Structure 1
Amino acid sequence: MRVAPKQFDVNNLRYTIRSAVEKDAKQLSEVRLQIDGETENFDREKGEAFMDESGFKQLIKEDTEASNNLFLVAEENDKIVGFLRGAGNKLKRTSHKVEFGIGILQAYWGFGIGKNLLKEFIHWADSNGIKKISLHVLETNEKAIKLYQNHGFEVEGVLKKDKLLSDGNYYSTIVMGRLNG
């Protein structure tokens, strides 16, 4: 699906949140690779499960055509600085829910981009009959956990010792969900 673009001005940074389009594919490939190298909050290390421009083009096409998928980008001066991708499925028993993930370039943390991407996504989900939104977040990502809780998400479970990080320790993944109706 697609949503109308929306502008934000936070801490003297003006950015737009809009639906991803095919021409974003090359930038999205580069941004995802960079984000994977800037944080350990994702499953991937830099370069793992690399998705190239054609892979993103296909993903954007599928997400645009699917009624329960949404791919948002945050853009500042024609540069993609973050994204949120939410995806559901066509299985009857689980078609009422979507799962999502957010990625923001580290240089753009602190400008409300994650919060505004999340708010736009929740609005879309609530407006389109999505009954449940779910996510996985690393236990050490306290800012994200607080953000999700402030927007109605609750902890549904913990996947213990789920990820091995660069310090050689295992960390848990928190499973969170938000119900609508």
Structure 2
Amino acid sequence: MQLAKQLFQVKGLDYCIRSAEIQDAAQLEKVRLQIDGETENMDRKRGEAYLDAAAFIRLIEEDATSGRNLFLVAEVDGQLAGFSRCEGNALRRTEHQVEFGVGVLKKYWGYRIGRKLLESSIHWADAQEIKKMNLKVLEKNEKAIELYKNCGFRVEGILKMDKRLADGNYYDTVVMGRIR
């Protein structure tokens, strides 16, 4: 699915949220690697489950024609600052829901880019009459949990000892959902 470009200015930073395009693939490859290396809030360490530009092209093409997928990017001065994706499926028992994921480069934290990607995704999901959005978030990512709660998500469960981080400790994952 494709969305129209939205322009924002937050704390003096101008950026847009728009649908991912084929020409974004090479930048997405690099941005995803960088985000994975900047924080332990992601599921992957840097380089794990690596997607090259060709894989991003396939995702962008599939998502552009699917009524159940949405791939958004945040762009600042022609460079990608982050991205989000909603992924659904065609299984009859679960076609009413999508899984949401987001990543923003650390240098752009605090400019509400993650919030704008989420709000755009929620607006899209509501317009598509998607009944439920799901996501998973690391328990120690308290800012993200608060954002999700403020946007209508509720805690649905806890996956105990779900992630082992660099400090050697195990952390829980919070499963959240938003029902329309």
Q: Do they fold alike, i.e. is TM over 0.5?
A: yes
Q: Which residue of 2 aligns with 1:174?
A: 174
For residues 86-97 of structure 1, the aligned pairs below 5 Å read: 86-97=86-97
* Paired amino acid for 2:82: G
Q: Which residue of 1 aligns with 2:115?
A: 115
For residues 1-181 of structure 1, the aligned pairs below 5 Å read: 1-180=1-180
Partners in 2 of 1:3 and 1:13 — Cα distance?
Answer: 22
Partner SS, residue 3 of structure 2: coil
Partners in 2 of 1:166 and 1:7 — Cα distance?
Answer: 37
Structure 1 residue ranges without an equivalent (≥5): none
Partners in 1 of 2:14 and 2:7 — Cα distance?
Answer: 7
Deviation at 1:94, TM superposition (A): 0.2
1:17-42 deviation per Cα after TM superposition (whole angstroms, max 9, x unaligned): 00001000000000000000000011
TM-score after normalising by structure 2: 0.99
1:108-131 deviation per Cα after TM superposition (whole angstroms, max 9, x unaligned): 000010111111100000011100
1:89-114 deviation per Cα after TM superposition (whole angstroms, max 9, x unaligned): 00000000000100000000000101
Partners in 1 of 2:42 and 2:111 — Cα distance?
Answer: 20
Give the alignment's Cα RMSD to 1 decimal: 0.4
Deviation at 1:43, TM superposition (A): 1.1
Runs of 4+ in structure 1 over 3 Å off = none
TM-score after normalising by structure 1: 0.99
Partner SS, residue 92 of structure 1: coil
Partners in 2 of 1:121 and 1:42 — Cα distance?
Answer: 19
1:56-81 deviation per Cα after TM superposition (whole angstroms, max 9, x unaligned): 00010011111010000000011000
Identity of aligned residues (%): 58
Structure 2 residue ranges without an equivalent (≥5): none
